[in-house]
Chain A
């Protein structure tokens, strides 16, 4: 079930360094939201605060509120582990578990919640691989290592692994930056297919990609040299790319800096 995320007044730190400041936004359910902006402006950091992966890095911490359909993810009695269970993530570089087969990779998340009947796991694995448009390519070699696939296939395997646990939200951190154009297109098509079921948030350096796939776009930028990153503007993707209200956004998308 796709869910809405509401963020208010969020700051994120690495030790004493403030990486992002006072971010507030609403991410609509069952749609694709893209984050764009120059390197080092805190897009990925912000993305990682949404499923509490940010705090995995030693010394990193977060202030502010992230609400998933009205529930505060940073409330005292919420465990990061269960947050991540509901908000899946796909990383910049494909990272299938090298010691596991394709099948085991997809089933990895399921196995965390106790043993299930083999037939049920089989069903979920097939559904997830089909969902990730990978089933036809790998159905005959499910027991081969995942690391033997091509880069694009590996990334789709990682998407299959993420959606196998039926999360509400799917976070994607530059999922195509390590892939060739054809694999990139395959992933983009996949995102559009998946958005009916999941709320998708994607960080991208590729403005065409944001324009092609996303419904809404947020533009991040540094407040100044050495300052934390902030959200400059967030709107419908079509508006951001045709008629942005901020000068900085227009400069960025027309390639005048960044």
Chain B
């Protein structure tokens, strides 16, 4: 672990030395040519695409998990759980392939529609609306992390002791009230860590994003327009033709990605630990 950080730092330092821009605020990424590069645009693209993906995937995934654990008929639920597990194992490059071949052309229409009628929301504004946009990448990421979050959430929901559910029902709770009273509070730490795992996956996801995003540099909240990039995708795209300085720069960006995911993971752990007193370990 520490070794990873050390080696990444060692390899990144020479490149950072020659950097003509400020690494943390520079938007341009051109280590091979002008030797000016900064992480700002890439980090921004990484965080916004992953957050959007999480926002889209989490409610749906929790819904799917609840459906399998508490709504679907028993036999169907077993089958569905198995399918979700299998989908969680589908390699991400497959989702990327699907994204670039099918989703990008398909989704241009809906995006234009959003842009036209909801363009007054800054998020949906912009002129060059296209399929290869941040939102498309987020959709693919969301589809990709959905089975992972759903599979883990279902697992925790199924672990809710029957006696707690019956306690809620015996108080005269409806099914939804029972879920809110017994299932969700019990499952919360599990769902949070599932979400964080999903977020980490989305941020580290390289290939799907690399295939979809047009690899431009810039910071913009116009998530429907043809722009955007992410740290991981940039590494995949830029690695092939990188000079030694370029490699160092890419390694430096990997270090930043590493740091971001580390922060996310530790944050998740803290959230879970804070609720530990109520985790029901004694029950």
State if A and B touch, Cβ cutoff 8 Å.
yes
CB within 8 Å of B: which residues of A? 51, 53, 56, 58, 81-86, 88-89, 91, 93, 95-100, 108-109, 112, 145, 147-148, 158, 161-162, 165
In angstroms, Cα B173 to Cα A81, docked, is 6
Most buried by A among B277, B282, B283: B283
Contact in complex: A147, B74 (CB < 8 Å):
no
Known: A91-B166, A108-B181, A145-B278. A99 touches B172 (CB 8 A): no
In angstroms, Cα B173 to Cα A30, docked, is 25
In angstroms, Cα B278 to Cα A148, docked, is 9
Minimum CB distance partner of A56 in chain B:
B169
Q: Mark B60-80, 1 if CB is under 8 A from A, else 0.
A: 000000000000011000000
Contact in complex: A85, B161 (CB < 8 Å):
no
Main secondary structure of the interface of B (DSSP, over half): helix
Binds A, one of B93-101, B182-190, B219-227: B182-190
Q: Which chain A positions have C-beta within 8 A of B282?
A: 98, 145, 147-148
Contact in complex: A145, B277 (CB < 8 Å):
yes
In angstroms, Cα B168 to Cα A12, docked, is 23
Q: Mark B152-180, 1 if CB is under 8 A from A, else 0.
A: 00000000010110111111111001000
Contact in complex: B166, A81 (CB < 8 Å):
no
In angstroms, Cα B170 to Cα A82, docked, is 10
Q: Report if B279 contacts A (CB, 8 A).
A: yes
Q: Which of B171, B185, B275 contacts A165 (CB 8 A)?
A: B171
Q: Which chain B positions have C-beta within 8 A of A98?
A: 164, 186, 278-280, 282-283
Known: A93-B163, A147-B280. A81 touches B172 (CB 8 A): yes
Q: How far is the CB of A169 from chain B (nearest CB, A)?
A: 12
In angstroms, Cα B167 to Cα A104, docked, is 14
Contact in complex: A97, B169 (CB < 8 Å):
no
Contact in complex: B171, A108 (CB < 8 Å):
yes
Known: A85-B172, A161-B171, A162-B171. A95 touches B166 (CB 8 A): yes
In angstroms, Cα B170 to Cα A85, docked, is 7
Known: A95-B164, A99-B280, A147-B282. A112 touches B170 (CB 8 A): no
Minimum CB distance partner of A98 in chain B:
B280
Minimum CB distance partner of B181 in chain A:
A108
Minimum CB distance partner of B167 in chain A:
A95
Contact in complex: A97, B172 (CB < 8 Å):
no
Known: A97-B181, A98-B283, A145-B277. A53 touches B171 (CB 8 A): no
Known: A53-B169, A158-B167, A165-B172. A95 touches B161 (CB 8 A): yes
Q: Which chain A positions have C-beta within 8 A of B275?
A: 99
Contact in complex: B283, A109 (CB < 8 Å):
no
9 A-B residue pairings within 8 Å (CB atoms): A58-B73, A58-B74, A83-B172, A88-B170, A98-B186, A98-B280, A147-B281, A148-B282, A162-B171
Q: How far is the CB of A128 from chain B (nearest CB, A)?
A: 12
In angstroms, Cα B277 to Cα A198, docked, is 35
Known: A91-B163, A97-B182, A99-B188. A109 touches B278 (CB 8 A): no
Contact in complex: B185, A100 (CB < 8 Å):
yes
Q: How far is the CB of B166 from chain A (nearest CB, A)?
A: 7
